[in-house]
């Protein structure tokens, strides 16, 4: 059975948290060569994840477009983290 959009968003948030270096200190993120300012990208994706966690706690249902947008942003941030050798 396919998950509803709420479950899918929760799964996506878990995947993003597992794939990106949320626990890495700022001085390690900003060390070395920067391709696309990883610090700002991590701040952005962190705010997006927190926003959706808050909305889910308030029983708001995300749309398929919301899921697609967060997945796209997460993918782009992950690609940048790979280029910066942080993942």
Give, for all 87 residues of the chain, the pLDDT tens digit: 677 999 999 999 999 999 998 888 888 888 777 878 888 999 999 999 999 999 999 999 999 999 999 999 999 999 999 988 888
pTM to 2 decimal places:
0.89
Write down the pLDDT at residue 8.
94
Write down the pLDDT at residue 29.
82
Write down the pLDDT at residue 76.
95
Angle at 6 (CA atoms; ends 87, 65), nearest 5 degrees: 75
């Amino acid at each position: 059975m396919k998950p509803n959009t709420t479950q899918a968003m929760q799964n996506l948030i878990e995947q993003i948290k597992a794939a990106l270096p949320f626990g890495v200190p700022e001085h390690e993120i900003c060390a070395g060569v920067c391709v696309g300012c990883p610090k700002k990208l991590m701040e952005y994706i962190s705010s997006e994840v927190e926003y959706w966690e808050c909305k889910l706690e308030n029983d708001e249902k995300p749309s398929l477009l919301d899921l697609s947008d967060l997945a796209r942003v997460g993918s782009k941030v992950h690609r940048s983290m790979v280029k910066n050798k942080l993942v």
